[in-house]
């Protein structure tokens, strides 16, 4: 059994503790901590179940399954937050997820994978195919914000127009997502062959009990997938119920909470996968996880949130402030520059992590009250 799965099963004990803390009013702080410790193992189990089912069902269905469930944790947490009316936190989490995937996850992968090695290589086509679509998706998310900034108030959009513009962008992104599935699973599947081979061989490490040709059982992993999804929905409800109170007591704003805390929580499983693959010198897969996760956020998670938000009574739009726009554009630019040459080393990882730390600190000080 892989180490991360053992850790996840051990941490599952926190879910009943979180439920008891909420039921018997042990305090918002206890619910906050225990719900976080519950979400992390559930996210790992959801990610693991998706991977195992992909091995069982074959490359095509497996790729589709990963495309649909790859960012389920982020989506579930964001939907729970939207239902609770935490619109500002949800909007900030979009910015934070892009930053965390492109700078934190990719940086950690290059740093950990590069230790003890002069450099690591990966197929540039992996970064090029994912990176171009990911860049388009992220820039499309930012366009409503840029339109609102033109000409100050005179050139900006009122709330109704901003929401309509954002919904239009959402439908376009969903159409692009459908075409991305057609491109990757049908017409240009060979471009993804390297990362797919790495993925199918990821469990072949004897130290993890894997073996070539390993076919996990179907029904148990389907049950794990469903149970983890239900558990995540419940733990997310507990988390969002206390997140505002706890973070305000710690002096953290909704902006910083959404940009830093939620992406770290929702993306924990993907980050562990990317770093683990990089350490095994499977950089094609590590890069695919970081860039592909960002692509899924832009083409699937964000459009779904925009379309579902009005049904939950809390309309959402894509109007971000200037610093958020600059932060996302910087993350996209830096990650593309680092990944397009097909080589990485630990120092490039340090540079990406430094960029993430600076941007995250900027959000902290931007939202802190002036003395």
Cα–Cα distance, 353 to 349 (Å, whole number): 6
Instruction: Confirm if 291 and 339 have CB atoms less than 8 A apart.
Output: yes
Q: Provide the pLDDT for residue 209.
A: 44
Cα 146 to Cα 151: distance, rounded to the nearest angstrom? 10
- Check residue 211 and give its pLDDT: 45
How far is 124 from 130, CA to CA, in rounded Å? 10
Q: What is the mean pLDDT of residues 251-263?
A: 86
- What local confidence, expressed as pLDDT, does residue 312 receive? 87
Give the best-scoring range by mean pLDDT among 80-84, 288-292, 335-339: 80-84
- So what's the pLDDT on residue 322? 84
Q: How confident is the model at residue 158 (pLDDT cuts 50, 70, 90)?
A: low
pLDDT in tens, 265-324: 888 878 888 888 899 888 888 888 888 788 888 888 899 999 999 898 888 888 888 888
Question: pLDDT class for 154, splitting at 50, 70, 90?
Answer: very low
The per-residue pLDDT for 270 is: 82
More confident residue, 7 or 247: 247
Among 147, 140, 131, CA closest to 172: 140
C-beta separation of 301 from 103 below 8 A: no
Rounded to an integer, the average pLDDT of 42-60 is: 78
Average pLDDT, the chain: 81
- Say yes or no to pLDDT of 202 above 90: no
Q: Averaged over 92-103, what is the pLDDT?
A: 90
Q: Of 124 and 167, which is predicted with more confidence?
A: 167
In order of 72, 209, 301, 355, 356, the CA distances from 106 in angstroms are 20, 27, 20, 12, 11
Give per-residue burial for 132-158: e unless 16+ CB within 10 Å, then b.
ebbbebbebbbebbebbbeeeeeeebe
């Amino acid at each position: 059994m892989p180490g991360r799965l053992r850790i996840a099963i051990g941490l599952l004990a926190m879910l009943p503790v979180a439920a008891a803390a909420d039921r018997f009013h042990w305090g918002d702080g206890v619910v906050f901590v225990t719900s976080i410790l519950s979400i992390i193992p559930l996210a790992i189990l959801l990610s693991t179940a998706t991977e195992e089912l992909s091995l069982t069902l074959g490359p095509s269905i497996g790729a589709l399954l990963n495309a649909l469930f790859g960012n389920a944790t982020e989506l579930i947490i964001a939907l729970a937050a939207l239902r609770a009316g935490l619109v500002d936190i949800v909007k900030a989490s979009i910015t934070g997820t892009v930053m965390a995937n492109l700078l934190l996850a990719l940086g950690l992968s290059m740093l950990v994978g590069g230790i003890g090695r002069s450099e690591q290589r990966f197929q540039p086509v992996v970064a090029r195919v994912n990176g171009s679509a990911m860049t388009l998706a992220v820039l499309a998310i930012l366009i409503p914000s840029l339109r609102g900034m033109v000409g100050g108030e005179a050139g900006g959009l009122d709330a109704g127009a901003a929401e309509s513009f954002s919904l239009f962008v959402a439908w376009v992104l969903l159409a692009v997502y459908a075409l991305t599935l057609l491109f990757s699973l049908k017409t240009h599947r060979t471009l993804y062959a390297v990362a797919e081979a790495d993925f199918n061989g990821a469990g072949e490490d004897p130290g993890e009990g894997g073996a070539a040709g390993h076919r996990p059982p179907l029904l148990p992993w389907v049950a794990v997938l469903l149970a983890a999804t239900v558990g995540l929905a419940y733990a997310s409800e507990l988390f969002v119920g206390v997140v505002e109170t706890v973070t305000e007591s710690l002096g953290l704003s909704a902006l910083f909470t959404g940009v830093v805390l939620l992406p770290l929580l929702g993306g924990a499983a993907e980050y562990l996968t990317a770093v683990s693959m990089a350490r095994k010198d499977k950089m094609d897969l590590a890069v695919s996880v970081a860039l592909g996760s960002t692509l899924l956020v832009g083409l699937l998670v964000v459009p779904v949130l925009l379309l579902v938000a009005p049904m939950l009574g809390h309309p959402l739009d894509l109007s971000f402030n200037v610093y958020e726009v600059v932060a996302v554009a910087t993350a996209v630019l830096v990650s593309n520059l680092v990944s397009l040459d097909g080589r990485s080393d630990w120092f490039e990882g340090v540079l990406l992590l430094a960029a993430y730390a600076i941007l995250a600190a900027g959000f902290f000080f931007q939202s802190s009250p002036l003395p």
